[in-house]
Amino acid sequence: MPYFKGVSERITRILNRAGAKTFYSRSQKLRGDILSQPKDPLSKKHTACVYSIPCSCGQQYIGQTKRPLRVRVVELKRATEQGKAEGSALAEHAHCNNHTPLWADVTSIVKVKHLGMRLIREALEIRVNEKSTINRMDGKDVSHM
C-alpha cells in the first residue's frame, strides 16, 4: 500500500523534526488526508486498524487492534454483556450507565499496520473527538493543547 507507506514516512518525519505537540496541531489535516472507510470493517481480513464503536447515548469508543476487528468486537461485546468493567472503558461505560453500544455500527477509521503509528492514530482520534468519546483519557501519548 504505497499510499499509506508515504503517509507513515511523513508522520515519522514530522515526529522526528517537531515532536508530538506540533504533530497534533497538524492532525486535522492528516486526518483528512488518510481517512479511509473500508467497505466491510467486520470482514475476516480487516485487521490492524483504529476503530470506533458508537454508544446508544451518542458518544463513541475509540480503540485499536492488530487482530481482525471482528474478533476485538466480539471480545468487547462479551466484556460488556458480562459487565467486566476493568477490561475496557466501553464495558465500564455501558455497564455503569446502562447504555448499549451499537455493535452493528462499528466503523474502522483507518488501517495502520505499524503498532507505533496505530497507537498514535488512536490517541489522535481520541484527542480530536475528545468531547464525544467515552475513552479514559490519560494524555500520555498526545500533548495537551
Q: How far apart are CA 136 and CA 1, in angstroms?
A: 32
| Closest among 112, 80, 103, 105 to 93, alpha carbons compared | 80
Residue 57 or 85 with smaller CB distance to Zn ion: 57
Least distance CB 22 / Zn ion (angstroms):
33
Residue 55 or 73 with smaller CB distance to Zn ion: 55
Least distance CB 81 / Zn ion (angstroms):
15
Name the residue type at position 47: T
Residue numbers at the binding site for Zn ion (CB under 5 A):
55, 57, 99
Q: If you write DSSP's letter for every residue of 31-89 in order, what string do you get?
A: HHHH----S-TTSTT-EEEEEEEEBTTS-EEEEEEEEEHHHHHHHHHHHHHTT-GGG-H
Least distance CB 138 / Zn ion (angstroms):
20
Residue 11 or 134 with smaller CB distance to Zn ion: 134
Least distance CB 102 / Zn ion (angstroms):
10
Residue 83 or 116 with smaller CB distance to Zn ion: 83
